[in-house]
Amino acid sequence: MQIENVDREEEFVAFVGIDWADQRHSWALQMTGASDIEQGILQHSPEAVEEWASRLAQRFNGRPVAIAIEQVRGSLVFMLSKYRHLVLFPVHPAAMASYRKSFRPSGAKNDPDDAFLLLDILTRHGKKLRQLNPDTEETRTLQFLVEERRKFVHEKTRHSNRLTAYLKQYFPQILDWFADVSSPVVGDLLERWPTLQHLQTAKPSTLRRFLAGHNCRHAELIDKRLSEIRHAVPATGDQAVLSSLSTAVTAVVRILREVRQAITDFDGQIEKLAQQHPDFAIFASFPGAGPVLAPRLMAALGTQRDRYTSAHQIQCYSGIAPVMESSGKQHWVHCRWACPKFLRQTFHEWALQSVKYSDWAKAYYEQQRARGKSCHTALRALAFKWIRILFRCWQDRRPYNETLYKGSLRCRTDSQQVGESSVQIVWKNVVGFSKVSAVRT
């Protein structure tokens, strides 16, 4: 969901702070102009929320009620956001924790008191909060899909590592014969022949048909694998190890098959939804923004172009821009810690992919590495530049043109061509990052 600045001309008839929990939510309510504070408990069920919201609508004749809550997304937010008279103001959990600590240095905490603190933040510092303003249904669907897909990719990695650990103990040859242990060919092979002893009993003709059926048609590679299978030595003969680990491997293989299918299903839905998005052509035009990253970039920026007034806001919000701390004569620049991690990961991974397809991006990345920057620092610096370009194309509703940008870059650097080995690109250091400055060749 997107968050935007509140229209302060809107008058709220009451203010509510809700400390959400798993089953019961504590709330505190204060009417505008009143000093008394009401409090209560809201059960976590659609029926209870419906009854509570209806009572507020009837009591205040449908006039807007401001609600402060420590969530941007979650079950309670989803329940409350469907009522037009309830206006939600998310409060960052870190801000809430610091606010609580200001008044309770001992660390004391309970739900009713937190509801009062949320109400206090809303009534005293409401101008600094942002109203929750959901994007279009299509964009939010895309946001949910790309995030959930990424979780399944992590699951695939986790189970692949688990499978590798099992195989190293009793069947390590598989890791040499196949590059990707999570691939369908490895899974089907292990499910059919879970140990080396089982595999060596198979006829060569059977193994050839099996490999050919999994698109392994390189004759020399097949002959090499069959020869190594025939001469392989078992890592262990302990039946306790072989029996238990082969059973575990079979179970993990089946899990990986389901995870791969889930990722494929997500890819199909994401591709269909992304191609229907009005900004698809813009995001798909960027180097490295393929079928996976282009939808993630679409979900990152959304469709509300008034949400950001500058590229710098995106750079800060996503965690790509660094943070500078200063005290007296000391200054410390470090990576931004509090940020949406999935959003930062999106820009970081896109910068990595762009190096493969963009000459100037590759030249800039290599210059950062040559200056002693780590891989991740160089990629964040590159993402910092890409966000400025992305923001301008997004605001102007026009696709990215690599040739046009390189021409503009040549004019600014007095270079004949960006990316050639004879061209020296000079960058001016700005708060730990870099920008283009004049070049003389």
- Taking residue 353's Cβ as centre, other Cβ atoms within 10 Å add up to 17
- When pLDDT is averaged across residues 186-211 and rounded to a whole number, the result is 95
Contact in structure between 348 and 338 (CB atoms under 8 Å): no
Burial (0-12, 13-18, 19+ Cβ within 10 Å), 339: middle
Q: Using 50, 70 and 90 to split pLDDT, how confident is the model at 439?
A: very low
pLDDT at 417: 46
CA distance 318 to 349: 13
Which overall architecture, per CATH, does domain 3-134 show? 2-Layer Sandwich (3.30)
Q: Is the pLDDT of residue 309 over 80?
A: yes
Global pTM?
0.81
Q: Using 50, 70 and 90 to split pLDDT, how confident is the model at 419?
A: very low
Q: Is the pLDDT of residue 63 over 60?
A: yes
Quote the mean pLDDT of the chain.
Answer: 88
In tens, the pLDDT along 353-405 reads 999 999 999 999 999 999 999 999 999 999 999 999 999 999 999 999 988 88
Q: Is the pLDDT of residue 281 over 60?
A: yes
Percent of the chain with pLDDT over 70: 91
Q: Which residue has the higher pLDDT, 430 or 102?
A: 102
Q: Using 50, 70 and 90 to split pLDDT, how confident is the model at 102?
A: confident
- When pLDDT is averaged across residues 293-299 and rounded to a whole number, the result is 95
CA distance 132 to 135: 10
Q: Which residue has the higher pLDDT, 148 or 429?
A: 148
* Same fold for the pair 3-134 and 141-273: no
Task: Report the CATH number of the 141-273 domain.
Answer: 1.10.287.4070
- When pLDDT is averaged across residues 9-20 and rounded to a whole number, the result is 86
pLDDT at 437: 47
Q: Are strands 65-69 and 86-90 parallel, antiparallel or unpaired?
A: parallel
Which residues contact residue 215 at a Cβ distance below 8 angstroms, ignoring those fewer than 6 apart?
Answer: 185
Q: Using 50, 70 and 90 to split pLDDT, how confident is the model at 414?
A: low
pLDDT at 38: 94
pLDDT at 415: 45
Which residues contact residue 14 at a Cβ distance below 8 angstroms, ignoring those fewer than 6 apart?
Answer: 29, 30, 31, 32, 56, 60, 65, 66
| Inter-helix orientation angle 184-192/204-213, to 10° | 150
CA distance 256 to 236: 25
Task: Enumerate the domain spans of the chain.
Answer: 3-134, 141-273, 283-436
What is the C-alpha end-to-end distance of the chain, expressed in Å?
Answer: 49
The length of the chain, given as a count of residues: 441
In tens, the pLDDT along 314-360 reads 999 999 998 888 888 888 877 877 788 999 999 999 999 999 999 99
Q: Is the pLDDT of residue 32 over 70?
A: yes
3-state secondary structure the chain: CCEEECCCCCCCCEEEEEECCCCEEEEEEEECCCCCCEEEEEECCHHHHHHHHHHHHHHCCCCCEEEEECCCCCHHHHHHCCCCCEEEEECCHHHHHHHHHHHCCCCCCCHHHHHHHHHHHHHHCHHHCEEECCCCHHHHHHHHHHHHHHHHHHHHHHHHHHHHHHHHHHCCHHHHHCCCCCCHHHHHHHHHCCCHHHHHCCCHHHHHHHHHHCCCCCHHHHHHHHHHHHHCCCCCCCHHHHHHHHHHHHHHHHHHHHHHHHHHHHHHHHHHHHHCCCCHHHHHCCCCCCCCHHHHHHHHHCCCCCCCCCHHHHHHHCCCCCEEEEECCEEEEECCCCCCHHHHHHHHHHHHHHHHHCHHHHHHHHHHHHCCCCHHHHHHHHHHHHHHHHHHHHHHCCCCCHHHHHHHHHHHHCCCCCCCCCCCCCEEEECCEEEECCCCC
User: At residue 30, what are phi and psi to the nearest 5 degrees?
Assistant: -135, 125
CA distance 384 to 362: 14
Q: Is the pLDDT of residue 250 over 90?
A: yes
Which amino acid is it at 6? V
pLDDT at 174: 95
pLDDT at 10: 56
Q: Is the pLDDT of residue 79 over 50?
A: yes
